[in-house]
Amino acid sequence: MSTPILATKLFCPPPRPGAVLRPRLIERLTEGLAAGRKLSLISASAGFGKTTLVSAWVAACERGEPEVRSRELKVRVAWLSLDERDNDVTRFLAYLVAALQTILPGIGAGVLAALESPQQPPIEALLTTLLNEIAPFPHDPSTPLTTSFVLVLDDYHVLDAKPIDASTSVDDVLAFLLEHLPPQMHLVIATREDPLLPLARLRARGQLTELRAVELRFTPGEAAEFLNRTMGLGLSADDVTALEARTEGWIAGLQLAALALQGPLSLQGRADTAGFIESFTGTHHFMMDYLLEEVLQQQTAEVQAFLLGTSLLDRLCGPLCEAVLGNSESHREAAHSASQGITHSPFAHSQAILEYLERANLFIVPLDNERQWYRYHRLFADLLRQRLQQSTADVAAYHLRASRWYEANGYPAEAFQHAVAAKDFERAAVLAEQAWPSMEDTFQTSAWLGWIEQLPADVIGTRPVLCTQAGWSFSNAGGPETSERHLRNAERALAGAADRAEFRSLPSSIALARAYNAQVQGHVADTVKYAELAQQLIPEDDVYRRAQAVIMLEFTHWANGDLEAARRALDDWMNAMRQIGNDVFVIATAFAVADIQRTAGY
């Protein structure tokens, strides 16, 4: 089963209406692309406008604006917004190929097929295949780049340097890509912290463009344009200078300040502006707490309830918000009041509120051109969540409704995470059990282990299916001791219940996992013992699992020098693969048979 692709992760956020133009920064990015550098790194803490800048640059490239056209560039751009689940290398590669396919249809199809194969090739081999497909893309080395394409990785900081039980990280993947990048390809990374890539080497070779906080902060001129043209405040030059100095050009701080100022300016006149700016002091943390109080208090009770209740969502769409908030107390009261003719809400449903929030510039980012999916600015979401936790709302109920919606709509990872957030660990355990087969088939063992690490040990230990799945996962991840602990828990949980239909296959699965563990540890006798036990327990019609036991015996015989027994086992394996139509395994096994026959002197 292939990794499901969430299309909204591949959309470049459209430029904000009325956004401050930043030609000096767009020129820096364009110059790096035209110079043939491999990487553009936009690295700064939250709130410095990294995504906004890159999306504006992408729009300039796609429209062929003067600063791009003057360099004779024709640019295609692929976009990938990252989240924590992309830390799994298999998932990351699937999304990377999907992003490239938005501008190069069909590219990487072989890589995607290999990712779904039970015997996945080494990551370096997959990357080599992908780079070889990219290399023929039109490029004339005797002239400036006439055609080039860019891959943007947004929010790279959400990825860990080394995910659990993985020998290869996403950093390793990108380091390999950068080392062998074709000249017509360019990589852009937007992140809150520097990635573990060979930045020093790229810098020394002149292959790196860097934009950091000192370049990203608004200049006094940009701050004036933002505050007076975009936000319509009409501040004096002195007021702009004072506010720019207070925020140190931090864009999110200026935006929060502008939203807070709109109230005093409209209600009390401009005489209070200087006093407001004068009192606008403190660390960023305290400044944001104060401004959010001011912003939220200017919204209606309905909008405030919507903002707080939906803040726990990483991405928002109308139906999802309806599901999360539809049974909340505030919505029931609003519906009752409306039915009594007490008030009439200007919002018919959640989609209308989302569109209002976008128009009001209330820290919401559209994720597609159809305005169906959105997300909150992450700083805004963090603070809303803090207020939600401090409120009397039933936060767990919100999470459970989100979990059910995600499950019903085919997003198992999101469904699991919201179940955990609700502390409904039994539900989370069921979701993990349901997701394991497809995640194992697509080599997302590391990601799945990250799931169950969030579950209490007593919840896992009482579920024989989950224990067996954990045993297999740790076996696949190279942890035989941990695997055995889970397998023993599975046997204890099975006591007295092994005859139940849903548990009947577990004893054979446990035996097969133990055979794999023994083989990894070099315990030949135990490998034979458990592989033979698995053969006895696995039903005759379960061809694939019986073949797994047979092939383990074959390797054991081969290692012991019993070539004839090894050959017979391989013949059995090939016959089993023919029955299930796996010609790839048949061909691969034929080479092993040939090796045995050559060793035996045939």
Q: Are residues 206 and 224 in the same domain?
A: no
Q: State how many domains the chain has.
A: 4
Q: What is the pLDDT of residue 295?
A: 67
Q: Are residues 383 and 255 in the same domain?
A: no
Q: List the structure tokens of 30.
A: 């364009």
Q: What is the pLDDT of residue 143?
A: 46
127 within a domain of the structure (yes/no): yes
229 within a domain of the structure (yes/no): yes
428 within a domain of the structure (yes/no): no
Rounded-to-integer distance, Cα 83 and Cα 87, Å: 8
CATH of residue 56: 3.40.50.300
433 within a domain of the structure (yes/no): no
Task: State the average pLDDT over residues 449-465.
Answer: 94
Helix axes 412-421, 425-441, angle to 10 degrees: 150
Q: What is the pLDDT of residue 580?
A: 66
Q: Are residues 98 and 143 in the same domain?
A: yes
417 within a domain of the structure (yes/no): no
Q: What is the pLDDT of residue 66?
A: 58
Task: State the average pLDDT over residues 573-595.
Answer: 66
**Residue 400 · residue 424 · CB < 8 Å:** yes
Question: Which stretches does DSSP call E strand in 176-225?
Answer: 185-191, 208-212
Rounded-to-integer distance, Cα 433 and Cα 502, Å: 12
Q: What is the pLDDT of residue 184?
A: 86
Q: Are residues 197 and 244 in the same domain?
A: no
Answer yes or no: is pLDDT of 71 > 70: no
Answer yes or no: is pLDDT of 189 > 90: yes
Answer yes or no: is pLDDT of 99 > 80: yes
Q: Is the pTM of this model over 0.75?
A: no
Domain span including residue 56: 7-216
- Write the CB contacts of 63 (distance below 8 Å, at least 6 apart in sequence): none
Answer yes or no: is pLDDT of 450 > 90: yes
Q: Tell me the pLDDT tens digit for each residue of 348-407.
A: 588 889 988 887 767 788 888 778 899 987 767 877 888 898 888 899 999 999 999 999
The band of 161, judged by pLDDT with boundaries at 50, 70 and 90, is low
Q: Are residues 236 and 212 in the same domain?
A: no
Measure CA of the first residue to CA of the last residue in the chain; give whole Å.
Answer: 40
Q: Are residues 156 and 42 in the same domain?
A: yes
The band of 341, judged by pLDDT with boundaries at 50, 70 and 90, is very low
Answer yes or no: is pLDDT of 578 > 90: no
Task: State the average pLDDT over residues 63-77.
Answer: 68
The band of 283, judged by pLDDT with boundaries at 50, 70 and 90, is very low
Q: Are residues 26 and 164 in the same domain?
A: yes
Q: What is the pLDDT of residue 56?
A: 92
Reduced to 3 states (helix: H, G, I; strand: E, B; else coil), residue 191 is: strand
User: Hey, which of 61-70, 202-211, 441-450 has the most confident mean pLDDT?
Assistant: 202-211
Rounded-to-integer distance, Cα 363 and Cα 394, Å: 24
Q: Tell me the pLDDT tens digit for each residue of 547-561.
A: 777 777 776 765 665
**CA–CA distance from 464 to each of 224, 456, 481, 489, 557 (Å)?**
64, 15, 18, 7, 32
385 within a domain of the structure (yes/no): yes
* Cα atoms in the 13 Å half-sphere on the side-chain side of 500: 10
Answer yes or no: is pLDDT of 267 > 70: no
Is the model more confident about 47 or about 555?
47
Q: Are residues 450 and 585 in the same domain?
A: yes
436 within a domain of the structure (yes/no): no
Question: Of the residues 165, 188, 216, which one is the last residue of a structural domain?
Answer: 216
- 3 state SS for 318-379: HHHHHHHHCCCHHHHHHHHHHHCCCCCCCCCCHHHHHHHHHHCCCCEEECCCCCCCEEECHH
Reduced to 3 states (helix: H, G, I; strand: E, B; else coil), residue 499 is: coil
- Write the CB contacts of 383 (distance below 8 Å, at least 6 apart in sequence): 288, 289, 292
Reduced to 3 states (helix: H, G, I; strand: E, B; else coil), residue 441 is: helix
Of residues 261, 262, 295, the one with CA closest to residue 278:
261
Is the model more confident about 40 or about 445?
40
Q: What is the pLDDT of residue 597?
A: 64
**Residue 123 · residue 90 · CB < 8 Å:** no
Q: Are residues 458 and 512 in the same domain?
A: yes
Q: What is the pLDDT of residue 522?
A: 83
Q: Are residues 490 and 563 in the same domain?
A: yes
- Write the CB contacts of 226 (distance below 8 Å, at least 6 apart in sequence): 20, 218, 251, 254, 255, 258
Question: Of the residues 264, 297, 330, which one is the last residue of a structural domain?
Answer: 297
Task: State the average pLDDT over residues 317-325.
Answer: 93
| Average pLDDT of the residues of the chain | 82
416 within a domain of the structure (yes/no): no
CATH of residue 541: 1.25.40
Of residues 566, 586, 567, the one with CA closest to residue 576:
586
Q: Are residues 128 and 52 in the same domain?
A: yes
Q: Are residues 233 and 142 in the same domain?
A: no
